[in-house]
Structure 1
Amino acid sequence: MKKDSQYDLAIAKLAPKTHHFAFELGRAFFEQFDQQLIQDGHLHADVELTKTDLLLTLDFHIKGTVRLICDRSLEDFDQPIDVRHQLRVRFGDQYLELDDDVLQITPDTQTLPIAQHLFDYIGLAIPMKKLHPRFQNEPDDNPDADAKLIFTTRQADDEDEDNSDPRWDALRNLN
């Protein structure tokens, strides 16, 4: 990913209260990342940052469409995206990613880059099977798609006990 300060939040200058940021994400945003998943899109991201002395809470709401390639027909189509995600940032002695949703930064950190987080949240909202809208309501081509899995257990019959392994019988008698 290229460094772009447009998606960096200057957290050092912020007062301890709630702040709102808005970003427009398009082709230029997706070109920053070395990937083939998303080439274009038109999204609006609202970020609400709540700053306290010990913690930053970022609430992301990303809405719009991304341009994808259909897995079946290889046609381009617009996939609607509407995702909400929360990121917590705490202060500590070093920079660490503690969890998917928790970061630790040093108290002297001036800016918080959020471009990668925006991209990751968009990527997580894309379905695994990318189908053009005209294929989404069609039945699946897999003939076993409607098959049901049936799980049964059977109890040991007298015949099975006769054919059982004598080593197991010896173990059962240990009780």
Structure 2
Amino acid sequence: MKPLKEFTIPFVGLKIAKHQFEYKVNKTFFEYFEYEDFNDVNIKVDLVLEKKSTLLELHFKISGTVNVNCDVTNEPFNQSVENEFDLVVKFGEEYNDEYIDILIVPHGTYEINVQQYIYELTVLGVPTKRVHPGVEDGTLKSDILEKLEELSPKLKENKEKEEDIDPRWNTLKKLLTDK
């Protein structure tokens, strides 16, 4: 996969100090990764790169919304997303990304691409269970919710059925539990 140029930071010409980068991420960014769970995306990425003499420190902060479908009703809604991540980039003999928050790049590397980190931060910032806020507070009116309510088991009916059982069966049930 060819990296997107706008997310490549050439750090070799930067002074030893903190540097600010801002990115706007939309749906085409996720289409590049072939990720199709989002209907629409409006994410702002604030990246602070602190260049030091022997390493780089990157602090990612994302905030915004992604439009996803509700897991209960399949209704689209805007899910707010906020996430932060710190990454340390060190220089070594060969490329190594085995560690979560440490990236080792070969000596002589002059740029770093941050698109994969932005992608992962956004996807991991979205809750695994996506429930429309209208479902939680009861304001959403949907055919699916009405059908779920209609088909849900009624607790009172189950208790009445248990009371109608012949009491002789209860002594037989005791035999099963006395083992």
Equivalent position SS for 2:9: strand
| Structure 2 counterpart of 1:117 | 117
| Structure 1 counterpart of 2:62 | 62
Equivalent position SS for 2:121: helix
Q: Distance in 2 between matches of 1:108 and 1:28?
A: 32
Offset of 1:33 from its aligned partner? Answer: 0.7
Q: Quick one: which amino acid aligns to residue 36 of structure 1?
A: E
Q: Quick one: which amino acid aligns to residue 111 of structure 2?
A: T
Offset of 1:39 from its aligned partner? Answer: 4.2
Q: How does 1:103-114 map to 2 (within 5 A)?
A: 103-114=103-114
TM-aligned CA distance change 1:39 to 1:54, over 3 Å? farther
Offset of 1:76 from its aligned partner? Answer: 1.2
Q: Quick one: which amino acid aligns to residue 95 of structure 2?
A: Y
Q: Distance in 2 between matches of 1:105 and 1:136?
A: 46
Q: Distance in 2 between matches of 1:43 and 1:17?
A: 26
Q: Distance in 1 between matches of 2:66 and 2:30?
A: 10
Q: Quick one: which amino acid aligns to residue 82 of structure 1?
A: E
Contact 1:30/1:39 (8 A) holds in 2: no
Equivalent position SS for 1:96: coil
Offset of 1:2 from its aligned partner? Answer: 4.6
Are 1:14 and 2:48 matched, yes or no?
A: no
Contact 1:2/1:33 (8 A) holds in 2: no
| Structure 1 counterpart of 2:164 | none
Equivalent position SS for 1:29: helix
Contact 2:30/2:36 (8 A) holds in 1: no
Segments of 5+ residues of structure 2 without an aligned counterpart are 139-148, 154-179
Equivalent position SS for 1:38: coil
Contact 1:18/1:48 (8 A) holds in 2: yes
Q: Distance in 1 between matches of 2:125 and 2:136?
A: 17
The TM-score normalised by the length of structure 1 is 0.74
Equivalent position SS for 1:123: helix
| Structure 1 counterpart of 2:23 | 23
Offset of 1:98 from its aligned partner? Answer: 3.2
Offset of 1:41 from its aligned partner? Answer: 0.7
Q: How does 1:1-175 map to 2 (within 5 A)?
A: 1-137=1-137
Runs of 4+ with deviation above 4 angstroms: none
Segments of 5+ residues of structure 1 without an aligned counterpart are 144-175
Contact 2:3/2:113 (8 A) holds in 1: no
Q: Distance in 1 between matches of 2:73 and 2:119?
A: 25
Number of aligned residues: 141
Offset of 1:5 from its aligned partner? Answer: 0.6
Identity of aligned residues (%): 29
